[in-house]
Amino acid sequence: MAKKPAQSSPVWSDTTKLIVNVLLLIISIGLLVKFSSLITPLVIALLLSLIIHPIAELVSNKAKISWSLAVNLIFLMVVILIVAVLTVGGLALIQQVQELIVFIQEKLPDIPSFLSEITSQTIKIGLFTIDLTRINWTDIGNQLIAYIQPVLAEMGSFIGSLASGAAQVVGTIFLSLILAYLLTGETGGKRERTK
């Protein structure tokens, strides 16, 4: 059989090279923007894997156990530590909120008597006398309520966004842990496979 001569592709002009490079750059930037939420967990996973690799190597060599068992034990301890820290932090936060609620419940019944005591007083400052009984407290109370209601309405959305942000951080932590576990486990204890 006769061999076909190898055909070489035509040389690209400078304009063609420029257009292809610009298109590749636009596609790369688009992919970075599209998957930007995955960049942070990936970087954290790589760093975590690089940190845990020598520890797993030490455990594997000293305890004379397999690489995968050493990685499993280390990541199990890391997960237990993270869950414990999140639990303790959550319990402390719940305790603070409960103490705030109890404080408000204790002080709420005293507010009317406190306000009636203040409004029935006369205050003397030097030559000036301020008679608080002549002030229209109903208008002031209505104005205070008008100012406080939007703040309380915004407080709910603030707490909601705070909770969703906390859930996102916890999700990122666990996604990074899973990726680091897979990366570290797949190296098989060989340092050259981490590069």
Within a domain: residue 176? yes
* 5 found inside a domain: no
123 DSSP β-pair partners? 130
The band of 191, judged by pLDDT with boundaries at 50, 70 and 90, is low
Containing structural domain, residue 188: 39-109+136-194
154 with 26: CB under 8 angstroms?
no
Q: Whole-angstrom Cα distance, residue 121 to residue 132?
A: 6
What pLDDT shows up at residue 27? 94
**What's the whole-model pTM score?**
0.62
Please state, for a pLDDT cut of 70, what percent of the chain lies above it: 93
The encoded tokens of residue 101 equal: 């609620």
Whether 147 maps to a domain, the answer reads yes
Count of domains for the chain: 1
Per-residue pLDDT reduced to its tens digit, 118-171: 778 788 888 888 887 777 777 877 887 888 888 877 877 888 888 888 889 889
Task: Evaluate whether 108 touches 122 at the Cβ level (below 8 Å).
Answer: no
The residues with which 124 forms a beta bridge, in sequence order, are: 129
